[in-house]
């Protein structure tokens, strides 16, 4: 595939869409708050390493290096960090009691079996450290059916920096639900991936118009460096 040609085509679509959106009052800014949390979605081995149905592109050359820089800034600032992953206990598609729900009728979620911890473990390049919450989810959104919103509120969080995979599904739905639950939503551009060409660019463009501010890594790090989070709030 000619990625330069794809990017040029997408840019033409973005330029025209921007004209329409701005004329109608879209693309407003939500801004950063004072108590951020990093929500890292599905950057586990089944998504970040090759050889799995869920393997995503540009993990080694873009997403992982960017995540390492962002994590370092979050840790230095004392921000809340949540690592989100996905796995299923009952992967027999014929079992009516499966925890996969109906999702297996659309995508091969049975490939991420809870018994195989290596699959759903967070990638060692961004491994959690003591004090960082690892959240196991069953649906696309990190908020759906989980205690995430309550956990963030108890920590005084008002802003979520959302990263991970995929732009088309789990990252996007997490952002939408985060906004609905009252958090300032920031999508960190270089820290978001997918497995389909053009999917990241299109979804981030559309997310920026409606559900979150899409910000470059450098600006997010600058924001974190300017924070002074009291230790009690960070914990």
In this prediction, residue 30 carries a pLDDT of 98
Structure tokens at 49: 């390493």
In this prediction, residue 230 carries a pLDDT of 59
What is residue 126's three-state secondary structure? Answer: helix
Query: What is the tally of helices (H) and strands (E) in the chain?
Result: 9, 6
In this prediction, residue 1 carries a pLDDT of 59
In this prediction, residue 8 carries a pLDDT of 82
In order of their start, the domains of the chain are: 36-229 (3.40.50.850)
Quick check: 64 and 48 in contact, CB under 8 A? Answer: yes
In this prediction, residue 197 carries a pLDDT of 82
In this prediction, residue 63 carries a pLDDT of 98
User: Mean pLDDT, 10 residues at a time, over the chain (235 residues)?
Assistant: 76 85 93 98 98 97 98 97 98 97 97 98 98 98 98 98 98 98 98 94 95 98 86 51
**Is the link from the previous residue into 166 a cis peptide, with omega within 30 of 0?**
yes
Active site residues: 170
Reported pTM:
0.93
Distance CA 77, CA 224 (A): 6
């Amino acid at each position: 595939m000619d990625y330069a040609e794809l990017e040029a085509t997408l840019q033409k679509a973005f330029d025209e869409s921007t004209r329409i959106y701005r004329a109608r009052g879209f693309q407003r800014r939500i801004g950063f708050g004072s108590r951020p949390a990093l929500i890292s979605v599905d950057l586990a081995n089944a998504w970040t390493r090759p050889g799995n149905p869920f393997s995503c592109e540009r993990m080694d050359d873009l997403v992982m290096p960017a995540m390492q820089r962002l994590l370092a800034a979050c840790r230095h600032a004392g921000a809340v960090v949540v690592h989100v992953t996905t796995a299923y206990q009952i992967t027999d598609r014929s079992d009516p009691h499966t925890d996969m729900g109906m999702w297996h009728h659309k995508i091969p979620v049975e490939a991420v079996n809870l018994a195989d911890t290596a699959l759903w473990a967070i990638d060692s390049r961004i491994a959690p450290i003591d004090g960082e919450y690892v959240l196991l989810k069953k649906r696309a959104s990190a908020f759906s059916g989980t205690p995430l919103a309550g956990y963030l509120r108890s920590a005084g969080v008002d802003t979520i920096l959302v990263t991970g995979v995929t732009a088309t599904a789990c990252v996007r739905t997490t952002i939408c639900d985060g906004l609905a639950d009252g958090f300032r939503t920031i999508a960190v551009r270089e820290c978001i991936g997918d497995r389909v060409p053009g999917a990241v660019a299109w979804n981030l463009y559309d997310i920026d118009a409606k559900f979150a501010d899409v910000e470059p890594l450098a600006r997010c790090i600058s924001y974190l460096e300017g924070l002074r989070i009291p230790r009690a709030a960070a914990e």
